[in-house]
Chain A
Amino acid sequence: MNDHELVNAFLCKKAGAFEALAKRWKQSIYNFAFRYVRDRQLAAEVCQTTLVRLYEKGHSIRDPEQFSAWLFQIVLNLCRDELKRLKRRRAKLVDMDDMSMNSLERLPLVDVDSNGHPESQMITNNYNDLLNRALSTLNEEQRAVIILKSYQGLKFREIAEILKISENTAKSRMYYGLSALKKTFDKWNISKERLGI
């Protein structure tokens, strides 16, 4: 059963359709949330809440083609809420040890060696974490577009719909976001050659 058929089955309230749909989308939702908020626990909470919303309000979707856009809109809003809450909490706990907080945009973004570059061992062992840190250097608008395009493989039309912007704005954010990431990778001396890709 493909996505379209599964969404139709869910909208028709067929038995087991929700479980199948949730299992199929769970990983995508979690990945998006984790890339966006950079916190495993928060990402899991966002994933859980999104699935609950899907169960409660998913039947209001009129066009099955709009399913992914509808779902990612919920995920994005939840992620934004979580980040706002995190920032408020961090503002209250300014004096706390920053390293103890698994939050966004903390400084320094990466552990650097004496040359100002991320430690080479870290690159090979924790590239995924490093990648998330690089993504967190972008503003939220660019980050959302890059995650939705690069990791979720959505079309710019769908991204524009989710973010309620024009397609050209989405493409522009993609271009400038990738350019900014390239600068960050260069600054941290990360390249295809070093990663052995």
Chain B
Amino acid sequence: MKCKKSNLELIDYLFGEMSEMERKAFLSHLEQCDNCQNASKILRETQTLLLAGQEETAPEINLSVPSLAHSRPAPKLQRLRSPILGFAVGAFATFLLFSMLNFRLTFSENNVTLEVSTANKNRTTTQEQTYITVDDLSAWREQTLYQVNKLILESESRKRQESQLMLSGLAKGFQEQRRLDLHLVGEGLENFQNSNLQEIQRTRMALNQIMQINASEHYDNSYNKQK
């Protein structure tokens, strides 16, 4: 039968975290309870086995304060211990900030100029120069557009001339071919006409001979009849 005593009490007893009165009460229970005796024995033996291990010696660790202090990343501003130096740095940072807010960047031919000042007194000049620059830019843009247009037109006219040359060449070629063809047709017609004429003469001659033969036969027949 399992003991009703809490495991927590057993732990308290084993590790000596009981008051004297509680300990005496638990001891009197332990003398009579086999379950608790057994559990106590097991836990005590386990604790003994745990403590039987040897502790490892910790490796050497550099404990000097400067090295530890060095490993701590101190904020940069805290390093400025001198108030004069701190003030100087602050003033310079403020100057730099205002200067950057009023800087002027100008471009000229192959030159870039950066002007830094704490006040914006040259703003008007800057604006004028800005207008001039804009005009220049627009003129340059127009000039560029004109040049581009000119180039486009030149390119188009060149292409047109090339195409015209090509077309005229083709036309010449066709005309030459046509002339040759017509010459050949003419020759062919002449030959055909000559051959036709020869044929007609030959036919006429043949007909004449036939007529002569017929005429002689007719003469012979009529002569015979007269006879």
Co-assembled chains A and B: yes
Contact B46 A181 (CB under 8 A): yes
Does A44 belong to the interface (CB within 8 Å)?
yes
Does B176 belong to the interface (CB within 8 Å)?
no
Contact B65 A31 (CB under 8 A): no
Give A175 to B67 CA distance when docked, in angstroms: 43
Contact A56 B63 (CB under 8 A): no
Contact B61 A47 (CB under 8 A): yes
Task: Return B41 CB to nearest CB of chain A, in Å.
Answer: 10
Give A18 to B7 CA distance when docked, in angstroms: 41
Contact B53 A127 (CB under 8 A): yes
Instruction: Across the interface, name the chain B residue whose C-beta is closest to A146.
Output: B50
Contact B47 A22 (CB under 8 A): no
Contact A178 B68 (CB under 8 A): no
Give A176 to B49 CA distance when docked, in angstroms: 16
Given contacts A127-B53, A128-B54, A195-B49, contact A26 B8 (CB under 8 A): no
Contact B43 A131 (CB under 8 A): no
How large, as a class, is the contact surface on chain A? 35 or more
Contact A182 B43 (CB under 8 A): yes
Contact B72 A174 (CB under 8 A): no
For residue B69, which residues in chain A have a CB less than 8 angstroms away from its CB? 55
Cβ contact of B12, chosen from A55, A171, A197, cutoff 8 A: A171
Contact B54 A19 (CB under 8 A): no
Contact A47 B53 (CB under 8 A): no
CB within 8 Å of B: which A6-41 residues: 18-19, 22-23, 26-27, 29-31, 34, 40
Does A172 belong to the interface (CB within 8 Å)?
yes
Contact A182 B46 (CB under 8 A): yes
Instruction: Across the interface, name the chain B residue whose C-beta is closest to A31.
Output: B55
Q: Which of B43, B49, B52, B55 has the most CB of A within 10 A?
A: B49
Contact B46 A51 (CB under 8 A): no
Give A195 to B49 CA distance when docked, in angstroms: 9
Contact B61 A185 (CB under 8 A): no
Does B96 belong to the interface (CB within 8 Å)?
no
Contact stretch, chosen from A66-74, A104-112, A148-156: A148-156
For residue A179, which residues in chain B have a CB less than 8 angstroms away from its CB? 42-43, 46
Give residues in B with beta carbon < 8 Å to A. Answer: 7-8, 10-12, 15, 17, 42-43, 45-59, 61, 63-65, 68-69, 71-72
- Can you give 25 contacting A-B residue pairs, CB < 8 Å? A18-B63, A19-B63, A19-B64, A19-B65, A27-B55, A27-B57, A31-B56, A44-B59, A47-B61, A51-B68, A127-B52, A127-B54, A146-B50, A168-B8, A171-B8, A175-B8, A175-B10, A175-B43, A181-B46, A182-B42, A182-B46, A191-B45, A191-B49, A195-B52, A197-B52
Top-3 shortest CB links A-B: A30-B58, A131-B53, A175-B7
